[in-house]
């Protein structure tokens, strides 16, 4: 690339911290670094003209874990670990709201509801029976009973007569959240370069040489926040997982309000004003969706349309307005990978499906790894 002396000197020399990825983790990491090091030169490199992973593509659920998810987690983890997992999400949402303000992100609490399909076997009864036990277990986090049985007031079809609501769960405007974060970053003199792909890096005694698709430069520290794309740069076990969604056109007199999921979280929907956003279906083709290529598959989109018509809006005429996908970072374990990789290289990746709740904290913790 034909970079001038001035360009190198002004933007690509003496860089203290370079962050790869401008998702929720990368931006929060940058803000925390600025707080800790007011005079440092901080650079963010993002491969898309907008973030290309999950942070600007997601559904905007501010969730802590549905009752069936908590039960599934209890099969894998100790009670203490599950409490800790839920507490991290709870604290994370608090942090996000405090950092950006409810108005700026259009934060609303209408509850998070878990529906149970008629065809869903024993899960409904198990969740219902264990509801008091789970409420008691999570008292230290929520301070009162979080889960409640409620009637099917929104007229969903092919589901059990009641659903289980976490009264504390909320929803936000994903675009506003990311725009607010970006504006904060830009206000604090952090440079963001878009459309730059970090291809490789090599460590020296004093720092890291970073190779991008357009130029090479040196940085004292490299912080990797590339989530589902992580394995192309570092040797960590992160699998990409594409998630597809669709959104309807505005629907007259839509009464549905809140966030909802069913089929063990494989399907989720919410209202956005008078529209319904509906997503999921990765379980129809795990192998095909283990990709970091954007795109929508006919098989999954057709099934989303079918469930939208049969379960969510059985009596309401509606039209699809738009479809898209995003890339998540998953692994066998739920916890993100947050660690120092070598003397000058750090990573905070594998956020799974909970990045809104934990992304702010992981970004901050990533910045705090730096000595
Ligand atoms: C459709 C969908 C719905 C979701 N719904 C919810 C929800 O309702 N609630 C919730 O909590 N979570 C949800 N999630 C998950 C959540 O969005 C993620 O956990 C979170 O955004 C992860 O943030 P991140 O910063 O770690 O990663 P990302 O947002 O993926 O950011 C990583 C960034 O790194 C960039 N990058 C990658 N490689 C390179 C490279 N080599 N060079 C330069 N840049 C690079 C990418 O372009 C990307 O912008 C959803 C995800 C999807 C896809």
Does ligand 1 have an atom closer than 6 angstroms to the CB of 269?
A: no
Q: Using DSSP, state whether 346 is helix, strand or coil.
A: strand
Does ligand 1 have an atom closer than 6 angstroms to the CB of 328?
A: yes
Q: What distance separates the 2 farthest-apart alpha carbons in the chain? A: 69
- The residue whose two tokens read 């209890």 is 74
Burial classification of residue 113, based on how many CB atoms lie within 10 Å of its CB (0-12 exposed, 13-18 middle, 19 or more buried): buried
**Overall size of the chain counted in residues:** 371
Residue closest to 335 by CA, chosen among 146, 76, 9: 76
In whole angstroms, give the CA distance from residue 209 to residue 199. 11
In whole angstroms, give the CA distance from residue 43 to residue 220. 11
pLDDT score of 143 = 96
Does ligand 1 have an atom closer than 6 angstroms to the CB of 22?
A: yes
In whole angstroms, give the CA distance from residue 350 to residue 357. 13
Does ligand 1 have an atom closer than 6 angstroms to the CB of 224?
A: no
pLDDT score of 121 = 83
Q: Give CA torsion, residues 316, 62, 227, 12, to 10 deg.
A: 110
How far does the centroid of ligand 1 lie from the alpha carbon of residue 227, in Å?
6
How far does the centroid of ligand 1 lie from the alpha carbon of residue 102, in Å?
21
- pLDDT tens for 310-366 read 999 999 999 999 999 999 999 988 889 999 999 999 999 999 999 999 999 999 999
Q: Using DSSP, state whether 120 is helix, strand or coil.
A: coil
Alpha-carbon Rg for the chain in angstroms: 21
Mean pLDDT by 10 residues, the chain (371 residues): 93 97 98 98 98 98 94 92 94 96 97 94 94 97 96 95 96 98 96 98 96 97 98 95 98 95 94 97 96 97 98 96 98 91 98 95 97 87
pTM of the model: 0.96
Strand ranges inside the chain, DSSP E:
15-20, 42-45, 61-62, 112-114, 147-151, 162-166, 170-171, 191-193, 198-203, 208-212, 216-224, 239-248, 259-262, 267-272, 275-280, 320-330, 337-342, 345-349
Structural domains in the chain plus CATH codes: 5-56+175-236+333-369 (3.50.50.60), 64-173+239-330 (3.30.9.10)
Which positions ≥6 away from 235 have C-beta within 8 Å? none
Q: Are 192 and 23 in contact (CB under 8 A)?
A: no
Does ligand 1 have an atom closer than 6 angstroms to the CB of 61?
A: yes
For residue 296 the two structure tokens come to 């929508």
In whole angstroms, give the CA distance from residue 347 to residue 174. 24
pLDDT score of 280 = 97
């Amino acid at each position: 690339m034909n970079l001038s002396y001035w360009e190198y000197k002004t933007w690509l020399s003496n860089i203290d911290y370079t962050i790869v990825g401008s998702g929720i983790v990368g931006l929060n990491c940058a803000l925390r670094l600025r707080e800790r090091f007011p005079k440092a030169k901080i650079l963010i490199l993002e491969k898309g003209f907008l973030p290309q992973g999950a942070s600007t593509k997601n559904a905007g659920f501010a969730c802590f874990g549905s009752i069936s998810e908590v039960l599934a987690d209890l099969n894998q983890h100790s009670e203490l670990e599950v409490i800790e997992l839920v507490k991290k999400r709870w604290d994370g949402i608090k942090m996000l709201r405090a950092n950006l303000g409810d108005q700026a992100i259009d934060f609303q609490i209408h509850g998070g509801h878990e529906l149970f399909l008629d065809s869903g076997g024993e899960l409904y009864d198990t969740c219902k029976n264990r509801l008091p036990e789970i409420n008691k277990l999570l008292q230290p986090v929520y301070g009162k009973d979080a889960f409640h049985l409620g009637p099917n007031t929104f007229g969903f079809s092919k589901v059990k007569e009641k659903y289980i609501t976490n009264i504390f769960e909320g929803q936000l405007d994903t675009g506003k959240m990311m725009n607010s974060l970006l504006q904060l970053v830009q206000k604090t003199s952090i440079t963001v370069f878009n459309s730059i792909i970090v291809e490789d890096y090599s460590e020296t005694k004093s720092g890291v040489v970073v190779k991008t698709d357009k130029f090479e430069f040196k940085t004292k520290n490299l912080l990797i926040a590339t989530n589902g794309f992580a394995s192309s740069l570092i040797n960590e076990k992160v699998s990409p997982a594409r998630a597809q969604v669709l959104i309807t056109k505005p629907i007259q007199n839509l009464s549905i309000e809140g966030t909802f999921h069913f089929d063990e979280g494989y399907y989720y929907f919410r209202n956005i004003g008078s529209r319904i956003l509906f997503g999921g279906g990765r379980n129809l083709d795990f192998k095909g969706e283990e990709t970091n290529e954007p795109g929508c598959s006919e098989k999954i989109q057709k099934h989303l349309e079918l469930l939208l018509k049969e379960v969510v809006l059985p009596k309401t005429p509606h039209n699809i307005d738009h479809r898209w996908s995003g890339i998540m970072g998953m692994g066998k374990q739920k916890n993100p990978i947050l660690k120092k990789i070598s003397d000058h290289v750090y990573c905070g990746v594998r956020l799974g499906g909970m990045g809104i709740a934990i992304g702010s904290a992981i970004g901050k913790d990533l910045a705090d790894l730096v000595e």
